[in-house]
Amino acid sequence: MPLCYRQEVATPVNISPVTLHFHGWLTTLIQRVRRSNGLVTPALNRRTSIKDLIESFGVPHTEVGSIKINGQTVSFAHIIEEESAVEIFPSQPPVNVLNSCPLRPKPLDAIRFLVDANVGKLAGKLRMAGFDTLYDPQWHDPQLAEIAEKSQCILLSRDIQLLKWKKIEFGHFVRETLPIKQLAEVIHFYDLSHAIRPFSRCMRCNGILAPVQKLDILDQLEPLTRKYYHTFLRCSACRQIYWAGTHHEPMQKALNELSHYRPLSY
């Protein structure tokens, strides 16, 4: 059930009461905040944007798909100035970040992910499926926000506070906890099953894999690998070598998971 909060405005600037109506799974985010610290900012005593108002209730802007005020679709920059009935809807799959929408008028020009350390194993899974994925466990919040903005990435994280950063325009709160289910969640959320390209990227560094002649790498192969495998790929960046024995089984597991995945509700 959607939650509805009525805010009484203690106002030096004539702002009338505002009703916020959160829909779908956004209600879970609000409940999370209420359980953790009981803080629900109750009053508007200054002019504020709808984005700031929503985030004051614990909901990151990245999770919001559309906003209506008194029935009209608005952008994040809309200023609450008068009595308003605000409806906030979650981003819902299929989300296409390559198309513009009122909340994100400048779409991305390509699908590229940036993975937070709290879902670090997801990075390898995404690369295994062939998706361009930036990841370094040493990156902290300021660096992640900077990279998300400059490299035009979708940030994947389980950190609510990080997803509120202004520089992070595209992001997704990862709800599944198992990496293989997280991969299925992301592929379903962004409708990317058609874009899966197994064995095209290096799981270690995100470099592009290219075929390499066995003769050229013989001295780098263990005896059993040399004996039983004949087709190899090599990372163009870090030179890591891949063959069927290293990847086929985990990739098959991931594909099976995708085919049986029961999508979350939003």
Which residues contact Zn ion by CB under 5 A?
Answer: 202, 204-205, 207, 235, 237-238, 240
Residue 218 DSSP class: G
Paired strand residues for 53 = none
Least distance in Å: CB of 210 to Zn ion?
Answer: 11
Considering beta carbons, is residue 128 or 162 the nearer one to Zn ion? Answer: 128
Q: Is the CB of 25 or the CB of 199 nearer to Zn ion?
A: 199
Instruction: Tell me the closest approach of the beta carbon of residue 129 to Zn ion, in angstroms.
Output: 16
> What's the sign of the alpha-carbon dihedral 246, 114, 129, 121?
positive
Nearer of residues 210 and 238 to Zn ion, judged by Cβ: 238
For the bound state, the minimum distance from the C-beta of residue 212 to Zn ion, rounded and expressed in Å, comes to 13
Q: Give every CB contact of residue 50 below 8 A, 6+ residues apart in sequence.
A: 67, 69, 74, 76, 77, 78, 79, 80, 86
Pair of tokens at residue 214: 């066995």
Do 75 and 250 meet the contact criterion of CB atoms below 8 Å apart? no
Closer of 127 and 188 to Zn ion (Cβ): 127
104 vs 127, which CB is nearer to Zn ion?
127
**CB proximity list for 136: less than 8 A, separation 6 or greater:** none
Q: Are 2 and 21 in contact (CB under 8 A)?
A: yes
Q: Measure the CA–CA gap between 131 and 147, rounded to whole angstroms.
A: 17
Nearest approach in angstroms of CB 180 to Zn ion is 22
Q: Which residue has the tokens 């702002």?
A: 15
Whole-angstrom Cα distance, residue 171 to residue 248?
30
> Please, which residue, 221 or 237, has the CB nearer to Zn ion?
237
Least Cβ distance, residue 35 to Zn ion (angstroms): 42
Alpha-carbon distance of 153 to 171, in angstroms, equals 8
Helix axes 120-128, 179-189, angle to 10 degrees: 60
Q: What is the dihedral of CA 167, 47, 39, 163, to 10 degrees?
A: -10
Nearer to Zn ion, 62 or 133 (CB): 133
Q: Please report how close the Cβ of residue 155 comes to Zn ion at its closest, in angstroms.
A: 22
What is the smallest separation between the CB atom of 251 and Zn ion, expressed in angstroms? Answer: 17
